[in-house]
Amino acid sequence: MRLSRKAKGEYQVEVSKDYDPLKIEPRWQKRWEELGVYRFDREDKKKPTYVIDTPPPYPSGEFHMGTALNWTYFDIVARYKRMRGFNVLFPQGWDCHGLPTEVQVEKRYGIRKGDLPPEKFRKRCIKLTEENIAHMREEMDSLGFSIDWSTEYRTMDPDYYRRTQLSFVQLYKRGLIYRGEHPVNWCPRCETAIADAEVEYEDREATISYIKFKLHGEDGYLTIATTRPEYLPACVVVAVYPGDKRYKKHVGKKLEVPPLGQVVGLIEDHEVDPEFGTGVVMVCTFGDKTDVRWVKRHKLPVVKLIDEKGNMSEAAGKYAGLTLEECKRAIVGDLRKAGLLAKQEKLAQSVGACWRCETPVEILTKPQWFMRVLDLKDKVIEGAKRVRWVPDHMRQRLIDWAESMDWDWVISRQRIFATPIPAWYCTGCREPVVAEERQLPVTPAKDKPPVERCPKCGNESFEPERDVLDTWMDSSITIAVHAGWPELDRRLFPADLQPNGTDIIRTWDYYLLVRHLALLGEVPYRTVLVNGMVFGEDGRKMSKSLGNYVDTTMARGKYGTDALRQWAAIGASTGSDIPFNWKDVDFGHRFMRKFWNAARFAGPHLNAKIAGLGPKKLKFRPVDRWILSRLNRLIEQTTGWLEDFQFNRALGAIQTFVWHELCDMYIEEVKHRLYGDDPTADAARYALYHVMLTAAKLLAPFTPHFSEEIYQTHFARDHPYPSVHVSSWPEVNKKFIDESAERAGELTNLIVGALRQFKSERKMALSRELPSVEIYASSGEVAKRLKEVGDDIAGTMRVGKLKIKVGKPKLAERVLAIEPELAKLGPRLRADAKLIVQALREAKPEDLAKRLAKGKIKLRAGGKRFELTPEDVRVIKETASAGRKVGVIDIQEPALTILIVSS
RNA sequence: GGGCCCGUGGUCUAGUGGUUAUGACGUCGCCUUGACAUGGCGAAGUUCCGGGGUUCGAAUCCCCGCGGGCCCA
């Protein structure tokens, strides 16, 4: 862009022919950061606040397209709300702790977690995390997200995990966190407990074995079916469905469990599926979650069969030390030898696996820390009902999840890179001692407990808790942390918006809700905005192994981030899954180019003085009133849709307006006025100024860089705002909404369109002049409206003389020629076809047409007789009115006839 | 096995009771209109997965079936 002063105080703007996003976008990103347009102003107590609690991403180092979709939604909202006058808090955090980073560190250095002292291992994790964050930050800036980096937080920083520990201490004091020994999901590879939310189910093919259990003290066997024979040594009871006729007589008897031969009872339980296998099931500690319920319900003993690495314990007898898989093979082999393996079948089964390493989870009991979430179930569900969900049906997902909870949340992990649990144990009586609030943050391995003696037994020696907290304990208090908790700034709590993907409703939305309810007794967010998952172009889930993976750097590399953001906004309705689509990205770019060129055309006419004139001082033509009315409706619609988070509809409406109403119609319809000395030219300039500025503003949340470039190139010199993003959102001016103007505009467009089609059909250049056109209206009222827009039509379509009349034109049809359809006649008549052609040429066309109208024509040619049907020929006619050759266009609604007089 | 969502021209997609059913991509024809040929104008193409029902009226509501997706067990 270059500005140079022209005479008379007007600007001549030299604008490049094409819009180059790859050059322009980084420039604005840098400028916005300098201007601080994204800063949340903590000192400002006047403006209303708008708080977006963004889910802190895991710093894996890669920015996924799904995350880009996520953040685009947040960013559209943030930018829109800023323009609406809100003091917007759009923070950015990093959910640093957890297994994936440990796994990455283990891989990078070729070690396991126990190979290094914890502090050293932790340092390597921090280093890797910092590298990853740096990459991702850069990418987020390139994607144009209006994040306020002054609010950046990292859950691994002492100032953050101090609060995580504080929340632990407070909930412990209130009895909502407790230490207990319950079965938990256990990943043998990662050697840690994991929560239900971290277990993912995969379909696998399993083998089901039918195994004979001898009746104790009598002859005969019962056959049980199991997919996990390695658990036989931990079988504590056998169960059947109550009243199952096959087994009724055996209930209460004893059975011998192979291969170790322990003797167990046979009981009835309603959870046994009589259809599965033989209807007899062995209960082991613990093969799956049902076993856990059975053990509890029937007060059964627990055999600790598996150790923390997933190997068989001493309880497995001669199988001790084997891995699960080895044990399975050994036991099946032994059973087969002993004749106790009745048969084996294949079975499709879904297996719970660790979300991070895909190792199948086992169920172990070990002392762990738990949060009492089951007690909060009703409050969570009630809270979820009060929140606004976009789309609405997502609420049900959270309710279903909360209702399905059957274990308390295990919050301790046997890992290293995480928030330390602020607790110690008395070496005498094992009583846990939890840190005092004033001590925090603490690292128990280095710091001292808050008491000198055990409050229970008086012992003076303690050992630190070495377990750490589930990473969800860190991230589930972000909303309180943004609001300054423990001193809560009520302007920032609850958050206005809680946006995230469908996949983390059960984790992120749930944990936020349950933790803030426990801690503060309040629902922490007002609205949850849910986005769908991003699929590859082939409609399948995007993944590197499927080869349909596109990363964000690639996706924005072609046309910049504004084009990509348009795909994100318009690719699907809010909450629906969305396939990545290069065509949408291309279209986004073409749209900006279109707008860019329209602005380039309008540039010399964009004059603030004219734009500032009162409408009364201008001579508006109907098309001006039409576009201004349409513009104000667009503001109304776009605003409503943004309030409802319907991004696809908002952007779609703007695109359609700009491309089809502004560019295709309006600009074409005012060119003739702008080029001459038309006294109404300033009215068109007024409309162009307001329409283009407003459209650029409406687009600002979607295409921030493009809108800024348009604003800076054409409008900034007249306005006090240093950036379009701190300008005000367009207001609807109801005075401009005018139905009769819209009807007049539509009538103009209708006739312009019809004349364009007429020219197109006759292969005429659009610029070709039409010397004389007559429009016949069916009523005086339509004729009156036509007269109002006559000059616009004539000017746009280059009509020399335009006459408007009431009534119907007198039309006469003249047959010019009857031509043979040789495609039909040729195959039928062969060589004789030539004779027909000759005969048709010689006959009088009018006569032939009359005879044809009655049916068939009989012809004599070259001494032969022929008969022709209407299908065999084409009648070439021309229409005439008052002796002049005319083209005719009939329009149904409103009833019009247009005559294009050509001679 | 449960919950939720979806099934619209060749492809993707908007649209939750009344529209000539939206738009994009693709296809075809035409046009250098003084912003844009990386453009413009125009055309063809679907009757809304199948069946039944409610209604004056259904792509839109209800039921059944078929197909797909997501989440969970």
Contacts of A22 (CB under 8 A, 6+ apart): A559, A560
Backbone dihedral region for residue A615 (phi beyond 0: left; psi -120 to 50: alpha; all else: beta): alpha
Q: Is the CB of A669 under 7 A from strand B?
A: no
Higher per-residue pLDDT: A463 or A270:
A463
Q: Are A272 and A344 in contact (CB under 8 A)?
A: no
Q: Are A101 and A417 in contact (CB under 8 A)?
A: yes
How much of chain A, in percent, has pLDDT values that exceed 70? Answer: 95
Measured in angstroms, what separates residue A749's CA from nucleotide B19's C1'? 19
What values do phi and psi take at A255, rounded to 5?
A: -130, 150
Dist. CA A537–CA A69, nearest whole Å: 15
Measured in angstroms, what separates residue A760's CA from nucleotide B32's C1'? 15
pLDDT, one tens digit per residue, over A784-799 is 988 888 888 888 888 8
Q: Are A604 and A713 in contact (CB under 8 A)?
A: no
Closest protein residue to B36 (Cα–C1'): A597
The answer on pLDDT for A688 being more than 90 is yes
Measured in angstroms, what separates residue A604's CA from nucleotide B64's C1'? 65
Measured in angstroms, what separates residue A775's CA from nucleotide B36's C1'? 32
Dist. CA A442–CA A444, nearest whole Å: 6
Q: Are A240 and A251 in contact (CB under 8 A)?
A: yes
Measured in angstroms, what separates residue A657's CA from nucleotide B38's C1'? 21
* Per-residue pLDDT at A8: 35
Q: Are A227 and A207 in contact (CB under 8 A)?
A: yes
Dist. CA A671–CA A668, nearest whole Å: 6
Higher per-residue pLDDT: A198 or A784:
A784
Helices (H) and strands (E) in chain A, counts: 26, 35
Cis peptide before A259 (omega within 30 of 0): yes
CB < 7 A to strand B: residues 273-332, chain A: 289
CB neighbours (10 Å) of residue A763? 6
Tell me the nt nearest to A674, Cα to C1': B34
Dist. CA A259–CA A229, nearest whole Å: 10
Higher per-residue pLDDT: A242 or A689:
A689
Strongest mean pLDDT among A292-306, A707-721, A861-875: A707-721
Q: Is the CB of A583 under 7 A from strand B?
A: yes
pLDDT, one tens digit per residue, over A582-628 is 888 888 998 999 999 999 999 889 988 898 888 888 989 999 999 99
CB neighbours (10 Å) of residue A883? 7
CB < 7 A to strand B: residues 603-662, chain A: 646, 648-649, 652, 656, 659-660
How much of chain A, in percent, has pLDDT values that exceed 90? Answer: 36
Largest CA distance in chain A: 134
Measured in angstroms, what separates residue A8's CA from nucleotide B18's C1'? 57
Contacts of A502 (CB under 8 A, 6+ apart): A394, A397, A530, A531, A532, A533, A575, A577
Q: Which two tokens stand for residue A104?
A: 């990455």
CB < 7 A to strand B: residues 190-209, chain A: 196-197, 199-201
Dist. CA A96–CA A597, nearest whole Å: 46
Q: Is the CB of A546 under 7 A from strand B?
A: no
Measured in angstroms, what separates residue A573's CA from nucleotide B60's C1'? 16
Tell me the nt nearest to A671, Cα to C1': B34
pLDDT, one tens digit per residue, over A348-376 is 677 788 877 778 888 888 888 999 999 99
Measured in angstroms, what separates residue A571's CA from nucleotide B32's C1'? 34
Q: Is the CB of A20 under 7 A from strand B?
A: no
CA A282 vs. chain centroid, Å, equals 45
Tell me which residue of A688, A685, A692 sits closest to A595, measured CA to CA: A692
The answer on pLDDT for A7 being more than 70 is no
Mark the nucleotides of strand B covered by protein, meaning any atom under 7 Å from a CB.
2-6, 12-15, 22-25, 29-36, 38-43, 69-73
Contacts of A581 (CB under 8 A, 6+ apart): A537, A567, A571
Q: Is the CB of A15 under 7 A from strand B?
A: no
Tell me the nt nearest to A507, Cα to C1': B71
Q: Is the CB of A581 under 7 A from strand B?
A: yes
Measured in angstroms, what separates residue A174's CA from nucleotide B29's C1'? 78
CB < 7 A to strand B: residues 397-436, chain A: 397, 400-401, 404
DSSP-assigned letters across all residues of A643-689:
HTT-HHHHHHHHHHIIIIIIIIIIIHHHHHHHHTT-TTHHHHHHHHH
Measured in angstroms, what separates residue A587's CA from nucleotide B10's C1'? 20
Q: Is the CB of A543 under 7 A from strand B?
A: no
pLDDT, one tens digit per residue, over A155-172 is 999 999 999 999 999 999
Dist. CA A232–CA A792, nearest whole Å: 90
Q: Is the CB of A337 under 7 A from strand B?
A: no
Contacts of A419 (CB under 8 A, 6+ apart): A97, A155, A161, A164, A165, A468, A469, A473, A474
Tell me which residue of A810, A839, A834 sits closest to A822, measured CA to CA: A834
ipTM greater than cut 0.95: no
Q: Which two tokens stand for residue A169?
A: 């201490």
Q: Is the CB of A590 under 7 A from strand B?
A: yes
The answer on pLDDT for A729 being more than 90 is yes
Q: Are A231 and A186 in contact (CB under 8 A)?
A: no
